[in-house]
């Protein structure tokens, strides 16, 4: 085959398949795509190769090898000529997938557009090297093509100098879902989904049905899964955790900030919460239990217990080296806290002052003892006024003994106002 033929799955379902003598052998039921070794022209380009046809010949379903089949196009009327009726090998059949059955009308992830879309048709191309799936059609034209009226509508629109809008997603930007019954994937989800920001991926997973949501989530590594889970709405977080085993869910929760875990556990039944806390490591579990003791309207329920605190005798150079070593999240360095030997809050240091000061200066020389702070039992409603009045990005939280127990960052306050408690934070505390 030397010429290029472009066609769609909808155009070949039901098409006749003939022998070299022109005698009809049967009809096409579906097209089989190889899932074991997708053809890649470079590292990022994956286009599944067509390896066979699912056919019905003399009332019997057969999977014919595409090696001996030619596609014929006569004015967009397609048929297939079979030079030799050879079935796919057992191995090839195990590593193949009926493309129409598993992709048409299914939800897929548009990696580039960062959203879920529905597949109306699949575009294929036949060239000298083989036949490949190259794009999915998510537009109106694809749907009308399925109904057999796309040409009629397009011809009518030409009277008004208009055409049907086309909407294609290249296969490189597609992540297929709901293929779990075949224990295969049409593309490398681990690489494609890793491209997305956790917030984008969280939005996509939330739009899925419960089954697909769980399957996609389980394909992520624990670190990635924890980041995505933090970005999800409470109802979706609860569904994900409930779908996992207690052991796996506990492992995942241990990788999240304690305050995030506490917010999530508020959505679960008490019995499930206790099972998860008992399964978690003791230190992580105790930290979460302490946060769960706060009432919903108290600052302690919103704060993170992960923060940066240092001793006033440390030099600027030592402090910066520690920051480089630990690589904390951005919101962790809104403000650095100075504590004494009893963990009492004594001062704060801004990142600006730290950066512009001489390396040999101590934190005691640049710290600010006029601290704006809140108590862990203060009402959350007071926070918005404080950050607005003093133009703060983070507020230290103390207990009744002036011990530093956490901090609240502006992101958390804004999100509490918007989403009633969903938070984003992380980091560690060092001595």
Q: What is the pLDDT of residues 350-409, one digit of tens each?
A: 889 999 999 999 999 999 999 999 999 999 888 888 888 888 888 999 999 999 999 998
Q: What is the pLDDT of residues 92-129, one digit of tens each?
A: 888 888 988 888 887 776 666 666 778 889 999 998 88
Residues 6+ apart with CB under 8 A from 326: 428, 430
Pairwise pLDDT comparison (172 vs 5), residue with the higher score:
5
Helices (H), 257-402: 258-265, 270-279, 282-292, 316-326, 351-356, 363-366, 381-390
13: tokens are: 């379902």
3-state helix, strand, coil in the chain (%, to 5): 40, 30, 30
pLDDT at 230 over 70: yes
* Structure confidence at residue 189 as a pLDDT band (50, 70, 90): very low
Tell me the sheet residues that pair with 168: 137
Q: How far apart are the first and last CA of the chain?
A: 71
Helices vs. strands in the chain: H and E counts, helices first: 19, 22
What's the CATH superfamily of 309-419? CBS-domain (3.10.580.10)
pLDDT at 423 over 70: no
The pLDDT of residue 186: 37
pLDDT at 320 over 90: yes
Q: How far apart are CA 261 and CA 229, in angstroms?
A: 10
Q: Which of 9, 17, 125 is nearest to 61 (CA)?
A: 17
The pLDDT of residue 365: 96
- Residue extents of the structural domains in the chain: 5-176, 196-293, 309-419
pLDDT at 414 over 80: no
Tell me the sheet residues that pair with 296: none
* Structure confidence at residue 174 as a pLDDT band (50, 70, 90): low
The pLDDT of residue 338: 95
* Structure confidence at residue 322 as a pLDDT band (50, 70, 90): very high
Same fold, 196-293 and 309-419: no
Mean pLDDT score of the chain: 82
Tell me the sheet residues that pair with 80: 17, 71
Percent of the chain with pLDDT over 70: 86
pLDDT at 279 over 90: yes
pLDDT at 220 over 60: yes
pLDDT at 69 over 50: yes
Among the ranges given (194-203, 229-238, 290-299, 302-311), the one the predictor scored with the smallest mean pLDDT: 194-203
Q: How far apart are CA 224 and CA 228, in angstroms?
A: 6
User: Rounded mean pLDDT of 178-186?
Assistant: 39
CATH class of 196-293: mainly alpha
The pLDDT of residue 425: 40
pLDDT at 155 over 50: yes
Tell me the sheet residues that pair with 69: 82
Q: How far apart are CA 63 and CA 288, in angstroms?
A: 56
* Structure confidence at residue 278 as a pLDDT band (50, 70, 90): very high
pLDDT at 42 over 50: no
User: Rounded mean pLDDT of 166-173?
Assistant: 76
Among the ranges given (7-11, 42-46, 86-90), the one the predictor scored with the smallest mean pLDDT: 42-46
Q: How far apart are CA 231 and CA 153, in angstroms?
A: 43
The pLDDT of residue 36: 67
Q: What is the pLDDT of residues 335-348, one digit of tens each?
A: 889 999 999 999 99
Which helix (H) or strand (E) element contains residue 189? helix 189-192
Q: Is 295:301 a contact under the CB 8 Å cutoff?
A: yes
C-alpha 89, offset from chain centre: 36
Q: Is 96:88 a contact under the CB 8 Å cutoff?
A: yes
User: Rounded mean pLDDT of 27-36?
Assistant: 88
The vertex-177 CA angle with 132 and 9, nearest 5°, equals: 35
The pLDDT of residue 112: 63
Global pTM reads 0.58
Report the DSSP pairing between strands 24-34 and 309-310: unpaired
User: Rounded mean pLDDT of 197-210?
Assistant: 80
The pLDDT of residue 175: 60
C-alpha 413, offset from chain centre: 25
């Amino acid at each position: 085959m030397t010429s290029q033929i472009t066609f769609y799955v909808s155009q070949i379902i039901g098409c006749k398949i003939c022998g070299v003598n022109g005698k009809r052998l049967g009809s096409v039921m579906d097209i089989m795509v190889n899932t074991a070794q997708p053809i890649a022209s470079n590292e990022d380009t994956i286009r599944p190769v067509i390896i066979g046809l699912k056919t019905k010949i003399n009332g019997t379903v057969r999977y014919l090898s595409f090696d001996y089949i030619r596609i014929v196009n006569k004015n967009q009327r397609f048929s297939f000529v079979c030079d030799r009726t050879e079935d796919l090998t057992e191995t090839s059949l195990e590593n193949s997938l009926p493309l129409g059955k598993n992709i048409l009308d299914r939800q897929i992830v548009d990696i580039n557009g960062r959203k879920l879309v529905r597949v109306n048709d699949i575009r294929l191309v036949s060239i000298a090297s083989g036949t490949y799936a190259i794009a999915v059609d998510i537009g109106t034209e694809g749907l009308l093509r399925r109904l057999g009226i796309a040409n009629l509508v397009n011809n009518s629109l030409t009277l008004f100098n208009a055409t049907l809008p086309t909407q294609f997603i290249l296969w490189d930007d597609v992540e297929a879902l709901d293929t779990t019954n075949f224990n295969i994937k049409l593309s490398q989800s681990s690489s494609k989904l890793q491209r997305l920001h956790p917030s984008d991926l969280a939005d996509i997973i939330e739009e899925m049905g419960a089954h697909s949501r769980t399957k996609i989530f389980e394909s992520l590594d624990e670190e990635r899964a924890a980041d995505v889970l933090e970005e999800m709405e409470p109802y979706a977080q609860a569904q994900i955790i409930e779908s996992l085993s207690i052991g796996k869910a506990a492992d995942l929760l241990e990788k999240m900030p304690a305050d995030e875990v506490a917010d999530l556990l508020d959505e679960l039944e008490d019995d499930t919460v206790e099972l998860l806390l008992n399964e978690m490591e003791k230190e992580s579990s105790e930290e979460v239990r302490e946060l769960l003791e706060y009432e919903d309207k108290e600052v302690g329920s919103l704060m993170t217990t992960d923060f940066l605190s240092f001793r006033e005798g440390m030099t600027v150079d030592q402090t910066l080296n520690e920051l480089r070593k630990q690589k904390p999240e951005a919101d962790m360095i809104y403000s650095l806290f100075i504590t004494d030997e009893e963990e009492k809050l004594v001062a704060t240091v801004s990142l600006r002052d730290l950066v512009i000061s001489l390396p040999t200066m101590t934190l005691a020389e640049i710290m600010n003892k006029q601290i704006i702070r809140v108590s862990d039992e203060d009402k959350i409603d007071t926070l918005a006024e404080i950050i607005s009045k003093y133009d703060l990005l983070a507020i230290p939280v103390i207990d009744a003994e002036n011990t530093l127990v956490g901090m609240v960052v502006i992101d958390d306050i804004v999100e509490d106002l918007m989403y009633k408690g969903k938070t984003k934070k992380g980091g560690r505390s060092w001595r």
